[in-house]
Amino acid sequence: MLFGGLAVLLGAVSISLVARYGYKGADTVVDGAISAVVFGAIALCAFIFDAAAVRLWFMHHHLGSLVIGAISAAALFVTFTNSLGAIAGRATRAKDDVAADRAELSRITQERAAMRFVPATEETVAAAREAVVAAERIHIAECGNGDPKQRGPNCRQRETEEQARREALTSALASRAVTDRAASLDRPLRSAIALPRPCPCRTRTLWEPPSPGCSGPAPLL
């Protein structure tokens, strides 16, 4: 009775693990549920058919026992291959994800390193806009509405000043756009730098402080 209960427990654990591998190895929830049911059913058949083969053997149904035993062995083989395949598939996907992340990080790093700009804030842009508005008012006061008779002696200078303020506003807007882009690139870079680094495998004495930058304690002597 004890061995029977232990066998049932181990079988349930095995079926659960195989079903979990099937679920985790899929890309969608529906595919995961289908894979879990199929993998679990195959593992269940291996467990039940194995017990049935033993039972038939002791009942002197040797031919039936051999047939059921062969089916059980096939189901057991499929269970092992499915489990190992799921593990290998997850490992491959994990490596592919790491490679993709590194490639993206390298692209971001290169793009950020190539950026040359003067940082600009919203206050910088607002000040440039106000300068353009002020230059427009001064230009209108000095030059009028376009009639040559209304042009004052400093009209040409005011036109030049207004154009300079407009160019400064255009430059501020461009710098602001590049500043925002740089900030968006800095966020993933900061996240990558903030990841814990593995601690070098080096033994140290109890009174020796841990190595700088370690994410975990080093072995103690």
Asked if residue 135 has pLDDT above 60, the reply is yes
3-class state of residue 179 by DSSP: helix
Whole-prediction pTM: 0.45
Does position 150 have pLDDT exceeding 70, yes or no?
A: no
What is the C-alpha radius of gyration for the chain, rounded to an integer number of angstroms? Answer: 37
**Does residue 219 surpass a pLDDT of 50?**
no
Integer Cα distance of 219 and 198 in angstroms: 13
The more confident residue out of 205 and 104 is 104
Domain locations along the chain: 2-113, 122-193
The predicted model gives 102-122 an average pLDDT of: 85
Task: Give the separation between CA 37 and CA 23, rounded to whole angstroms.
Answer: 9
Task: Name the amino acid, one letter, at 149.
Answer: K
Of 111-115, 172-176, 216-220, the range with the lowest mean pLDDT is: 216-220
Give phi and psi for 197, each to the nearest 5: -95, 145
Q: What is the mean pLDDT of residues 67-80?
A: 74
What percentage of the chain carries pLDDT values higher than 70? 71
Chain segment 178-205, per-residue pLDDT in tens: 989 888 888 887 777 655 554 544 444 4
pLDDT in tens, 153-169: 778 888 888 899 999 99
